[in-house]
Structure 1
Amino acid sequence: MQKVRVAIVGAGRGGFSVYRMLKKMEGVEIIGLADINMMAPGILDAQKDGVFVTENFCELVKFNNLDVIIETTGVPEVQEKLRQIRGNSTALMEAQAANLMMAILKEKEELLEFKRIQGELSAILNSMQEAIEVADINGVIKYVNPAFSRITGIPEKERIGQNIFEASPDGALATVLKTGKVVFGQRTKVGGSNADVVSNSAPIVVDGKMEGAVCVFQHFTDIMNLMEELKKSTTIIENLTDKLGQVTTSKYSFDDIIGDSPELRKCITLAEKSAQSNSTVLILGESGTGKELLAHAIHAASMRRENPFIKVNCAAIPDTLLESEFFGYAKGAFTGAVKSKIGKFELAHGGTIFLDEIGDMNLLLQAKLLRVLQEMEFERVGGNQTIKVDVRVIAATNRNLRELIRQGRFREDLYYRLNVVEITMPPLRARKEDLPALVSHLITSLNRKLGKNVKGISKDAEEVLFSYDWPGNVRELENVIERVMVTADEEILTKKNFIQHVNQFRMSSERDVDLMPIEQMEEMLIRKAISKFGNTVEGKRRAAQALNISLATLYNKLKKIKVANYKS
């Protein structure tokens, strides 16, 4: 096809617009532009495109085979001159005609842009998973997307052209066309289909006038599935939040264990070796000897140090709650279980769980614990899903487990499962050479806590501490040092500071025990038991067991002797 050869006279705003339109058309060849202003926008654009430009429009007429001259200046003299000099085969299009052509070309360009937008919109609507249905103001259905046919089973060609008031008179789309108001979350069945859907519908308003309505809906089953997925995600987030709030790591290392006595060094050496394995460790020792501190240190030195260290005090949790604390519970397992709870073993996955006071665990839970140690799996209370864990167990007790086994109060198989590595923490009375280092460490720590400036203790004060057997071990020593520092103003603590706090618990070696009145001996034993096990309800229960009397008898005797600080 031969191209139409065109020249443009005038390169201002009008001529520039004509030039831009024509250069896009494949059937047009622009051979030149003319304008007295060589900085006119059309001239500059044509120069960039390599098109001939001139100040003298007469030069354009010299081109052979020129088909059309488009004059955009509107100047009569220019138009008259062009009529005179143009060839017989060259048509002249003056400004008015050029404006008409511009209007036509602009309309065409806008139509093309509309078709492009329409194509993009159609692609978007066709790709949506939600069904879409559009009707005009009279209810005639104009459009449905592929998802409509997928959800309802109604082909597009059968739906388009129907009237919505006949096809689905109770649906959201018909409601909007009747009322002109938005409908949100309406559950209904699609007319002509059994599809149960949830719909949102809104009016289509053009220039302030309602022209129709559009409806978007999803199958009710899809929404329920989404809600179920949301619930699962919410449960996972809640569990992670609970887990994050409960997970702790070890606070102490072997460096925090104070003392160089042979008995203590022997324990630490064995603990350091056990830290390199995943074997279960059983820590024995009297109350206050530092069993928990050693458990922390073992975890901190192990390959699990970056993972959780979870502590469970078996004596502090009621028997009825101990199982759910250990293994968690499923939602609805009992009244008040409104959501699932993660247990301590699950929290400790990948790390260490420290079972303190293991000797106080009931027999039923001992059996379940044995299974966890053997299989490393369990079920939550009220649940049926088996949960597998990777946990290193460290247990501790101040009870004589062998004696408990003989009494039928502790499972022998559990004892041997726990007692892979046994470490016995020495009492303070067996390592009194560590007293100076312990006292120095405690004074430094308590100075920061209490805002004091105590620098040490005198020789006679040290003799008092050495002469005492410390039934409460390091915990009792810490308690005594703190009580003394709270009340003392001196920088060096002396015998007089300590004597009242130590002698009240000490059985004098100078007294002839054989000649001591029974009531006095009983009082001293009760004092010692309370000092050893503590003044809590649990401590009194243990004291009663150690003295081989009932708890009620112990309370009566405490009331009778009016022990200071131990009133029932």
Structure 2
Amino acid sequence: MQRIAIIGTSGDGLAVYRLLKDIKGIEIACFIKTDKKNSPDEWSGKSNIKIINLDKISEIEPLDVIINTLRDPDVEARVKNIKGNISVVDVNAVNLMVHLFKEKQELLHIKRIQGELSTVLNSVQEAVEVADKLGVIKYVNPAFTRITGIPAEERIGKNVLEISPDGALAMALRTGKMVSGHRTRVGGSNAEVISNASPIVVDGSLEGAVVVFQHFTDVMKLMDELRKRTTMIESLNDKFGQVTTCKYTFADILGNNPELKKCIQVAERAAQSNTTVLLLGESGTGKELFAHAIHYASSRREKPFIKVNCAAIPENLLESEFFGYAKGAFTGAVKSKIGKFELANGGTIFLDEIGDMNLSLQGKLLRVLQEMEFERVGGNQTIHVDVRVIAATNRNLRDLIRTGKFREDLYYRLNVVEVTIPPLRVRKEDLPALVNHLIVKLNRKLGKKVQRLSRDAEEVLYSYDWPGNVRELENVVERVMVTVDEEILTKKNFIQHVSQFKPVPETDVELIPIDRMEQILIQKALMKFGNSVEGKRRAAQALNISLATLYNKIKRAKFENSNT
């Protein structure tokens, strides 16, 4: 601690005292007063400060001589103040100069921080108001004046406990606790605001409080904007949850059957365009797999692939599922919903089981296919989309047209490119490749180590017609692999899991000529599938003969009948 003496008149000496009294490491030892005035009140009660009156000093006698005559061995430095000029005397004044320099640096640092803080507070859009512990307002930023209309000079110096006693700032001062979301009117203004206030506590002592507030209308605008953004996020979340990507490519379609290869070639060519594709075939033949592969091979592969099972959605909900609905369209429609066609914009929509769609919706679907536009249920805004449609069904659409259950114009709109996928029973040569693929896939899924089928097991698979097609084959193989630990699957493994495997009953069968039995089967097939070109083609597939062979047999049968 450095002890110093102050020499000068009462007023100037007091100024020096105020400068030095709060500097760490400095103690005021004495004050040498050189005028006749009484000591200032600020000196009273300072028992540790020695006051020396030199009111009879000759004006001619230099002050430095007086200082030298009054040296105190405990005083390390003397500060004299003559007519406002402060100087440090004595050779031991170096420490005092160091203290003064450090204090100046600290004051400059504090001043810089104050400038930065002032810039920040002046630039924020929220109003800021600060009061001391007695409630006297010490600071307001420009946003305060903008929001309340009260100039800073009319606010600073007023007591907030008097002019705005119900405000958040006053509450924080009275309670010493934080105040959040307080809605009130600013005292002296009609501005309704939402405020957050906090007490200012230094070393455990309440020194004041600060409040930050916004105009209520601004807060409501922010809330409205937040609701809009929340709705947008929810909408995007709905879209994300419904959008799927294609899972399969043409490489995933296994088999070397000529009919299957032909279907793949047609589908690959169709994928290069945006034309509508109609996939026909029995249940389980792989129509969805073809749809995925067509989308993946097209230029739309990076866009959404949306699947809709027309048979799985109730008729009264199918329209809103397709086209979405507007808010308030019906009871429970608290917000708008995006439909499948809108979700598929830019990509592909796969309409599975199209033959089960009701006639009313068929007409609306026809419009979408023709115009690529629609309205949401309960809405009046026309939405334009760019969607590639792939439809699939296991039903005979021509029969549905004849019975009035399917629109003929929609059929022709869908049937631009037709792909009829052959059933498994007519491509049994593909069974080994399919089963081996399933074994590898199910080994990973089930943690098994199955290697292959035995020969008798293969004979069982070949002897069965697989009415459920590839889907049924996958189901049977998985059921078998779940229940066995062997590495080779045998005939008994399959027979005990598939009830359809039954030996031919040993009953007397009436013997008739083979060609006659052939004619009966052809007639039965034509009755089932129809006499159209498409019907004959499907009849040939069911009979496991080529279409040309079927025509030859029909022609031969007619010729023989004409000769009888």
Q: CA deviation at 1:268?
A: 1.0
- Select the residue among 448, 453, 456 that pairs with 2:453: 456
* Alpha-carbon separation, structure 2, partners of 1:160 and 1:460: 97
* Alpha-carbon separation, structure 1, partners of 2:442 and 2:176: 77
* Alpha-carbon separation, structure 1, partners of 2:88 and 2:159: 55
* Equivalence map 1:330-345=2 (5 Å): 334-336=330-332, 341-345=337-341
* Alpha-carbon separation, structure 2, partners of 1:360 and 1:133: 70
Q: CA deviation at 1:472?
A: 3.1
TM-score w.r.t. the length of structure 2 is: 0.65
* Equivalence map 1:11-22=2 (5 Å): none
* Alpha-carbon separation, structure 1, partners of 2:253 and 2:145: 74
Q: Does the CA-based 8 Å contact 1:133-1:215 persist in structure 2?
A: yes
Q: CA deviation at 1:274?
A: 0.7
**What residue number does 1:392 align with?**
388
Could you say if the C-alpha distance between residues 428 and 512 of structure 1 is closer, same or farther in structure 2, counting changes exceeding 3 Å? farther
Q: What amino acid is aligned across from residue 416 of structure 1 in structure 2? A: Y
Q: Does the CA-based 8 Å contact 2:450-2:489 persist in structure 1?
A: no
SS at match of 1:269: helix
Q: CA deviation at 1:279?
A: 1.4
Q: CA deviation at 1:460?
A: 9.5
* Equivalence map 1:20-419=2 (5 Å): 93-206=89-202, 208-329=204-325, 334-336=330-332, 341-382=337-378, 387-419=383-415
Q: CA deviation at 1:214?
A: 2.1
Could you say if the C-alpha distance between residues 405 and 216 of structure 1 is closer, same or farther in structure 2, counting changes exceeding 3 Å? same
SS at match of 1:177: helix
**Comparing 265-274 with 500-509, which one deviates more in the overlay?**
500-509
Q: Does the CA-based 8 Å contact 1:446-1:452 persist in structure 2?
A: no
**Comparing 315-324 with 127-136, which one deviates more in the overlay?**
315-324
* Alpha-carbon separation, structure 2, partners of 1:139 and 1:481: 84
SS at match of 1:95: coil
Q: Does the CA-based 8 Å contact 2:476-2:494 persist in structure 1?
A: no
* Alpha-carbon separation, structure 1, partners of 2:269 and 2:316: 37
Q: CA deviation at 1:282?
A: 0.8
Q: What amino acid is aligned across from residue 125 of structure 1 in structure 2? A: L
Q: What amino acid is aligned across from residue 406 of structure 2 in structure 1? A: F
TM-score w.r.t. the length of structure 1 is: 0.64
Could you say if the C-alpha distance between residues 422 and 143 of structure 1 is closer, same or farther in structure 2, counting changes exceeding 3 Å? same
**Comparing 173-182 with 326-335, which one deviates more in the overlay?**
326-335
* Alpha-carbon separation, structure 2, partners of 1:280 and 1:351: 13
Q: Does the CA-based 8 Å contact 1:189-1:196 persist in structure 2?
A: yes
Q: CA deviation at 1:473?
A: 3.0
Q: What amino acid is aligned across from residue 396 of structure 1 in structure 2? A: A
Q: Does the CA-based 8 Å contact 1:480-1:501 persist in structure 2?
A: no
Q: What amino acid is aligned across from residue 456 of structure 1 in structure 2? A: L
Could you say if the C-alpha distance between residues 497 and 123 of structure 1 is closer, same or farther in structure 2, counting changes exceeding 3 Å? closer
Q: CA deviation at 1:247?
A: 3.1
Q: What amino acid is aligned across from residue 428 of structure 1 in structure 2? A: L
Q: What amino acid is aligned across from residue 235 of structure 1 in structure 2? A: T
* Alpha-carbon separation, structure 2, partners of 1:141 and 1:440: 85
**What residue number does 1:556 align with?**
none
Could you say if the C-alpha distance between residues 433 and 123 of structure 1 is closer, same or farther in structure 2, counting changes exceeding 3 Å? closer
Q: CA deviation at 1:361?
A: 1.4
* Alpha-carbon separation, structure 2, partners of 1:507 and 1:311: 45
Q: What do the CA deviations read for 1:410-433 (whole angstroms, capped 9, x no partner)? A: 233332332221111123344444
* Alpha-carbon separation, structure 1, partners of 2:252 and 2:507: 34
* Alpha-carbon separation, structure 2, partners of 1:318 and 1:296: 25
Q: CA deviation at 1:401?
A: 1.9
* Alpha-carbon separation, structure 2, partners of 1:507 and 1:382: 61
* Equivalence map 1:493-512=2 (5 Å): 493-494=490-491, 501-502=499-500, 504=502, 511=509
Q: CA deviation at 1:114?
A: 3.3
CA RMSD of aligned residues (A): 3.9
**What residue number does 2:6 align with?**
none
Q: What amino acid is aligned across from residue 95 of structure 1 in structure 2? A: V
Q: Does the CA-based 8 Å contact 1:358-1:396 persist in structure 2?
A: yes
Please list every run of 5 or more consecutive structure 2 residues that lacks an aligned counterpart in the other structure. Answer: 1-70, 77-86, 513-564
Q: What do the CA deviations read for 1:505-553 (whole angstroms, capped 9, x no partner)? A: 9999984599xxxxxxxxxxxxxxxxxxxxxxxxxxxxxxxxxxxxxxx
Q: What amino acid is aligned across from residue 350 of structure 1 in structure 2? A: G
**What residue number does 1:422 align with?**
418
Q: What amino acid is aligned across from residue 452 of structure 2 in structure 1? A: K
Q: CA deviation at 1:129?
A: 0.6
* Equivalence map 1:543-554=2 (5 Å): none
Q: CA deviation at 1:310?
A: 2.4
Q: Does the CA-based 8 Å contact 2:457-2:489 persist in structure 1?
A: no
Could you say if the C-alpha distance between residues 496 and 202 of structure 1 is closer, same or farther in structure 2, counting changes exceeding 3 Å? closer
Please list every run of 5 or more consecutive structure 1 residues that lacks an aligned counterpart in the other structure. Answer: 1-73, 80-90, 515-568
Q: What amino acid is aligned across from residue 400 of structure 1 in structure 2? A: N
Q: What do the CA deviations read for 1:287-322 (whole angstroms, capped 9, x no partner)? A: 222211211221222222333322221111222332
Q: Does the CA-based 8 Å contact 1:454-1:493 persist in structure 2?
A: no
Q: CA deviation at 1:369?
A: 2.7
SS at match of 2:294: helix
Aligned residues: 426
